[in-house]
Copies of this chain bind each other. A is one copy, B any other.
Amino acid sequence: MTIKEIAQLAGVSSAAVSRYLNGGYVSDEKKEQIRKVIEETGYQPSAQARILRTKKACLAGVVVPKINSESVSRITAGIEQVLSRRGYQMLLASTDNDPDKEITYLKLFENYPVDGIILIGTVISAEHRKFLKNSKVPVVVVGQYTKYANCIYHDDYGAGKAMGRLAAAELKKAWTEIGESCGKIAYIGVTKEDKAVGVSREDGFRSGLKSEGILLEPDYVKTAEFTMDSGYHAALELLEQKQDIRIISCATDTIAAGAIEAILVYSRQNVPRSAADSGTRMQYVLNNSGIRVTGFGDNQFLKAVTGGIPTVHFGYKTSGIRGAELLLDVVERGEKIPVEIKLGFRLADREN
């Protein structure tokens, strides 16, 4: 079905049909004829061709590192909220943490009918920068600082520092219970290629510890991927190598979840493996190893089933909202002056 065929069937010109579709001048009489034909045929105009003409898709493409993530979903929720309110739709491309795929999808969106792109950033490589500099369509980066595009990011250093202070306080509290200096703090971070999480957050954390006179010893630091499984393995290694760990601080709540699992497994205090195991009550988790875990991100799922660990709440949804607003400002109003927005955080120390 093309607009031409509809025009013929209705006995009008294709331009008339086009006008009918887009609210231009057309007599009530012809309007009716066209309406009828369209209804009968179920004709739907090709957005495809329309966009080729108008250069306007009312669509934004969002490149995300992974799909199954609370932080990502909060950001996209924010984006979607302002997009839909302003008549745009949102398409997602997930890269599964593969930088190559990220470039691929950015280029896909660049040459596809989207009016703008939002990149939820993790590692910003040279290729990323090159893309940002030369992109034909406006791009805004959420979650990482960059000077090559409008960006909106979180105060990871500050958050890390606050958490470092908190962790230090917890550690000292443990010392008063068990005896001075007999417990160490460990940290599970992520790749340094991720400037926000891998560098700023960790640097802040160290700084926070330091301000309380505590040092993070190299043997007590591991690097993990952004997955629970990876956090599990890193934590297990730590536990097996060092017997005096009192706190495991993790760069994300997802990693923290893996660390919790590792502690459960390691301390052999986890639930019976089979329901057939006698009449033991279903105690979901019983961790009395005394090892504490902290995270970043304020994951609701984790909070729900564990009662909550010390973590940091970032304004993910807000960053999505601001990101989309930024994007539409340049898409619709051609706003040219570059913008960088830094968002704050809130320590979430299980107060609720």
Contacts and interface: CB of A to CB of B under 8 A. Distances in A.
Contacts of A76: 67, 94
9 contacts: A49-B52, A67-B73, A68-B69, A228-B304, A257-B301, A264-B305, A284-B307, A286-B286, A301-B302
Given A52-B52, A68-B69, A293 B282 contact: yes
A170 interface: yes
Interface string A17-56: 0000000000000000000000000101111110110000
Contacts of A10: none
Interface majority SS on A: helix, strand, loop or mixed? mixed
A110 interface: yes
A48 B47 CA distance: 11
A211 interface: no
A105 B91 CA distance: 9
Interface of A: 42, 44-49, 51-52, 59, 66-70, 72-73, 76-77, 80, 89-94, 96, 104-105, 107-108, 110-113, 134, 136, 166, 169-170, 173-174, 176-177, 228-229, 232, 257-258, 260-261, 264, 270-276, 279, 281-288, 290-293, 300-302, 304-310, 349-352
A48 B49 CA distance: 9
A176 B279 CA distance: 9
Contacts of A285: 284-287, 305-307
Contacts of A302: 301, 305
Contacts of A136: 44
Residue picked from A91, A229, A292, most chain B C-beta under 10 Å: A91
Contacts of A309: 282, 284
Contacts of A96: 77, 80
B304 A301 contact: no
Contacts of A66: 73
A302 to B, nearest CB: 7
Contacts of A90: 93-94
Contacts of A49: 52
A105 B282 CA distance: 43
A328 B90 CA distance: 24
B48 A305 contact: no
A253 B72 CA distance: 20
Contact of A307 (B72, B264, B308): B264
A301 B229 CA distance: 9
A248 to B, nearest CB: 11
Contacts of A67: 67-68, 72-73, 76, 92
A271 B93 contact: no
A283 B284 contact: no
A350 B228 contact: no
Contact of A287 (B59, B284, B288, B351): B284
Given A80-B96, A93-B91, A349-B274, A47 B307 contact: no
Contacts of A112: 47-48, 113
A309 B272 CA distance: 10
Contact of A42 (B134, B260, B270, B290): B134
